Amino acid sequence: MEFLENSVDNAGKRGSIEVIAGSMFSGKTEELIRRLRRAMFAGLKVEIFKPSIDVRYSEDRVVSHDEKSIVSTPVENASSILLLASGVEVAGIDEAQFFDSSLVEVCTKLADTGTRVIVAGLDMDFAGNPFGPMPALIAVAEYVTKVHAICVRCGNLANYSHRKVKDEKIVMLGEKDIYEPLCRSCYIKSMNR
């Protein structure tokens, strides 16, 4: 009942879920940072979260491949976000694919209580399968932005994150040394080798 009461108290606020999805090297984090900085410039109370396992560039910053960054709070699980985002007007979440399915409920609860939630993540894993909670987040979001990289083999738009090393683990942190963005045609060719 407490959750419903909070929803009524925040009836004047307009909560929403925005999802930025795409392959590696497509600019997801860069777009997330851009939206969050605009909210900060507008004087809104903003908090940014990322999974604590993502320490590629920084332990406490969300960092894009082109080295744009913003201070963030690393969290072990999605439920921590709900606790730490209390009272914020805009909540940003990077690398959403690394969270479990409870992230969908967390984002929904935040939006229902008036928070603008902006989520960025890979929509597919290296094998071309839907990744983590991303498909469900896309389904419940008011706004979805699909961004694309450029295929490193032919120059077309890329929407696949091809893993260049042989390893079947779904989660494998890496950069250009391990992954490359490919278009559908080049991805299929690389998988058939």
* pLDDT band of 52, cuts 50, 70, 90: confident
- Residue 11 resides in a domain: yes
Which residue reads 């779904």 in tokens?
170
pLDDT at 56 over 90: no
95 flagged as catalytic: yes
Predicted structure pTM score: 0.85
Among residues 31, 95, 105, 180, the one annotated as catalytic is 95
Residue among 108, 27, 14, 109 at smallest CA distance from 68: 27
Alpha helices in 69-114 (DSSP H): 78-84, 102-112
107-152 pLDDT, tens digit each: 999 999 999 999 999 999 999 999 999 999 999 999 999 999 999 9
Mean pLDDT of 2-11: 43
What CATH number does residue 60 fall under?
3.40.50.300
- Residue 169 resides in a domain: no
Number of other CB atoms surrounding residue 129 within 10 Å: 10
Cβ atoms of 85 and 110 within 8 Å: the answer is yes
Residue among 159, 164, 157, 156 at smallest CA distance from 180: 164
- Residue 29 resides in a domain: yes
Higher pLDDT, 141 or 6: 141
